[in-house]
Every structure is written in structure tokens, then in C-alpha cells.
Amino acid sequence: MTDDRERAAAPYLIRPITEDEWPQFLAVDNEAFNIADPPDTPDYWRQVIEFERTLSAFDGDLLVGSTAIYSLTMTVPGGPIPVAGVTGVSVLPSHRRRGILRALMTRQLRDIHEGGEAVAALYASEAAIYGRFGYGRAADHLFFRIPKHGSAFRPDAPTDPALRLRVARPADVRGDLEKVFDEIVTTRPGMYARSEGRWIGVLRDDEVARGGFGPLRCMIAEDDGGPRGYALFRAKSSWTEHDLPDGEVRLRDLFAVDPAAYAALWRALLDRDLCTSVFAQSRPVDDPLIHLLAEPRHLNAGWADELWVRLVDVGDALAARRYSAPVDVVFEVSDPVCPWNEGRWRLAGDASGATCERTSAPADLTLPVDVLGAGYLGGRPLTPLADTGVVRESRPGALKALSVAMSWEPRPWAGLVF
């Protein structure tokens, strides 16, 4: 007998795919995102996909919509927790506006809830979509385009005479890269542990990954004790009509465990011969580089959303994180997509721990669940929402107290699309 949950907007059936249906799943994704994967993509993605955590909608035998989950270990304020990393949300253009996306997303949230994960996160292809399903904009990122002529550091930039730089082939030094990354990953909300398949993706170096640039390159900052930082990047050779160098460095990954290693790696990128600019596509909003440049206007920074977070289980999610200031507040949540979250909750916590339990006490605040998702990683102040009417405050000062308590340093950033 067909489970009622497998019925989308009739007559569409929703279920996980089999391995034999993997090519159809990818074909829907390619059509929806207007991309064309190279021939080896199915084999690559098999290393990270969890078939039992896929969902697809079928019109007869035709796969017409899809989504999937990665089982991530993601850092939140206070430490790492299990997080459902949502990806591959796609519907064929021929089947839009039929309720398929809503059916996929609501079924997925119910499955996550029943599986015991309290939090889901995703990268949004279109920001307007996911608020409808209770996701809040939880992290932002910056992108930089830095000209070499404006890249001077301030005179007191950190240095260390024991530090040296080493050029390396990325695939040969993966152990060094992992050592640095593993020391960093639990220090910033939003970052998540990289599996074997994820590292293969980071170091992927085919023509599609290069995107018209050169091969993936690596610079390691180290001392006699081992690696202290690394940068992964590509470079494109270019010359002006007057035969002057005009190359570009494009940053892939840069992590360091101390300020001197961090500054040394950036200096190596900014000073690279025959290149006149560095483009960094995704950096945290509190990137130290902002304060290292003598003239920060030369960052030519742009700003965009990064992670979106959904509290699948409000009580467990808010109890799982820590708070930068003591908080004791009662709020009433509206959540039509996940009705088990609706009602009043009392959150009491501080830097040592928290509880979030059902209560019949009067509410200090009334808010939709996406607001809690937006503030969950500590990077989104909640007080501006009072002026929008999205949050209603019954006890003066309650929203500010919650906003301050949920804030966190450093600011959230995942740094790698999943």
C-alpha cells in the first residue's frame, strides 16, 4: 500500500530514488539550473550523495522534481551539531506551478523531524523561495576584487620570521590542508566538517572546475612545527594590447590558524607576478583582510546572502546552542509548514547551556519560525524586525534581550556550497 506521505499534489508520487534513477535525478537538476555537467559528474556526486535521503516527484515514470540531504556536522554557537544540508531542489520547467516544490519541501521537513535532526540549512538559488518554508537568512558573505596597486597592508600587519611559504601541488598535500581546516572548522558557526567526497570536490581540477582559469594551485604557510595555513587558488594569464601583464588570481580556499600565517598567505596572492588583481568569491563578513588593507576601499567589496537556516524542531534546536548573554524569554511561534513547532516556548540560557521548553506563560514576543532561523547562527540582529511588524513585542526589551543573547562572534559563514 502506498504511504499517504508519498502523494504530492495528485497525481505525483514522492519517494527516494534508486541508484538506477540517479541519471534522471541529475538530468532534472541540470534542466532546472540551466547547466550541463561533464561526463564524470555522476561518478563524482555518487561519492557524496545519500540515496536514502533523496526525494523525487514522479509523473508516471517521469522524474519531474527532486531534492536531497547531506548529513552534515555543522558548527553552531557553542559547538558542532548534526544538521540536514538541503541541496538539489529542482522542478522541471514543464511541471512548475503544480505544487510539486511545496510537496517535496514539506515532506522533506517531516522526514528530517522524524529522523531527529533539529536544524536544516541550505544555499538558496533564489532568496524569495525558501522563506515560504520557514528558512531564515542566517549568514552573509562578501566578495572582493582587489587591485594589486591598492593592496598595501597597514604597517603593523602581523609577521613572524619563523614562518615560510611553500608552493605545493594540491593533491599531494591534502593531509596538510585537512590539518589546518580541522583546527578551524569548530571556531566559526556555519562551517561544517568535510567528508572524503567533499575534499575530492574541493581539489577537483577538471576543465569545468577551472572555468577558463589555470590549474588549481596551493600555497602553504608553515614553520618547523608544520602547516599553519593554506591558500587554494587559480590564476588566469592575460596581457593588455600594449603587452603589459593583466592576469587575475581567483581564490578558492584560504584558512590559517594564526594572524601571521593569514597575512602571509594573502600577501603572497596579492603580490603574485604578472597578475594585477585578486578575486575572492566568498569571504566572511568579518574577514580580517578588511582591517589589514591600508585602504580598505580597494577591497571593492560586494555583499550577498549565504546560508539559510530552518529550525525543524524549535525546542531542540535552541537548546543545542549557547548564548552570548543570559536570556529568559517566552515567545510564541507561528509555523504553518511544521505545525509541531507552533505555540509558546520558554528559552532560558547563557554561555554554559540552555533549555527551551513548552510553556503556558504569557508570550513576551510573537514571531514566525524563519526569524529564529535567521538568528540561529548568531549573525543576524533581530531588533530591526520590530519596525517591519514581523515580530510583535508584548514585553518591552524582550526582543533586544533575545537578539543580544543569540548574537555570536565570529560571524557565521560556511565557505563551501553544498
Is the same domain home to 154 and 255?
yes
Tell me how far apart the alpha carbons of residues 277 and 351 are, in angstroms, rounded to a whole number: 42
Q: Which H or E element spans position 60? A: none
Three-state DSSP at 148 gives helix
Is the same domain home to 297 and 325?
no
Parent domain of 347: 314-406
Whether 38 is covered by a domain: the verdict is yes
Whether 380 is covered by a domain: the verdict is yes
Length reported for the chain: 418
Is the same domain home to 318 and 301?
no
Is the same domain home to 201 and 113?
no
Whether 8 is covered by a domain: the verdict is yes
> 296 preceded by cis ω (within 30°)?
no
Is the same domain home to 331 and 260?
no
For the chain, what is the radius of gyration of the CA atoms?
Answer: 23
Q: How many CA atoms, within 13 angstroms, populate the side-chain half-sphere of residue 37?
A: 18
Is the same domain home to 379 and 398?
yes
- Mark which of 305, 333, 358 sits at the end of a domain: 305
Q: Assign residue 362 the CATH number of its domain.
A: 3.30.1050.10
* Number of independent structural domains in the chain: 3
Tell me how far apart the alpha carbons of residues 144 and 45 are, in angstroms, rounded to a whole number: 29
Tell me how far apart the alpha carbons of residues 254 and 251 are, in angstroms, rounded to a whole number: 7
Whether 15 is covered by a domain: the verdict is yes
Q: Is residue 55 within 8 Å of residue 108, measured between CB atoms?
A: yes
Whether 413 is covered by a domain: the verdict is no
- Residue carrying the nine cell digits 552573509: 140
Whether 378 is covered by a domain: the verdict is yes
Tell me how far apart the alpha carbons of residues 53 and 111 are, in angstroms, rounded to a whole number: 9
199, amino acid identity? W
Is the same domain home to 45 and 88?
yes
| C-alpha pair distances (Å), 79 with each of 86, 144, 381, 413 | 20, 29, 20, 14
pLDDT at 42: 67
Instruction: Pull the grid cell for residue 68.
Output: 536531497
Long-range contact pairs involving 89-92 (C-beta distance under 8 Å, separation at least 24): 89/122, 89/125, 90/28, 90/29, 90/31, 90/32, 90/33, 90/65, 90/66, 91/28, 91/32, 91/57, 91/64, 91/65, 91/66, 92/28, 92/31, 92/32, 92/64, 92/65
pLDDT at 10: 55
pLDDT tens digits, the chain, 418 residues: what are they?
Answer: 444 444 444 579 999 999 999 999 999 999 999 988 777 776 778 889 999 999 999 999 999 999 999 999 999 999 999 999 999 999 999 999 999 999 999 999 999 999 999 999 999 999 889 999 999 999 999 999 999 999 999 999 999 999 999 999 999 999 999 999 999 999 999 999 999 999 999 999 999 899 999 999 999 999 999 999 999 999 999 999 999 999 999 999 999 999 999 999 999 999 999 999 999 999 999 999 999 999 999 999 999 999 999 999 999 999 999 999 999 999 999 999 999 999 999 999 999 999 999 999 999 999 999 999 999 999 999 999 989 999 999 999 999 999 999 999 999 999 999 9
Is the same domain home to 89 and 157?
no
Three-state DSSP at 126 gives coil
- Mark which of 70, 102, 117 sits at the end of a domain: 117
Is the same domain home to 209 and 262?
yes
pLDDT at 36: 84
Is the same domain home to 53 and 181?
no
Whether 163 is covered by a domain: the verdict is yes
Instruction: Pull the grid cell for residue 401.
Output: 534581550
Q: Is residue 319 within 8 Å of residue 354, measured between CB atoms?
A: yes
Whether 236 is covered by a domain: the verdict is yes
Three-state DSSP at 298 gives helix
> Sign of dihedral through CA atoms 248, 417, 170, 49?
negative
Instruction: Pull the grid cell for residue 352.
Output: 554554559
Is the same domain home to 221 and 327?
no
What SS3 string covers 160-195?
CCCCEEEEECHHHHHHHHHHHHHHHHHHCCCCECCC
Q: Assign residue 49 the CATH number of its domain.
A: 3.40.630.30
Is the same domain home to 87 and 112?
yes
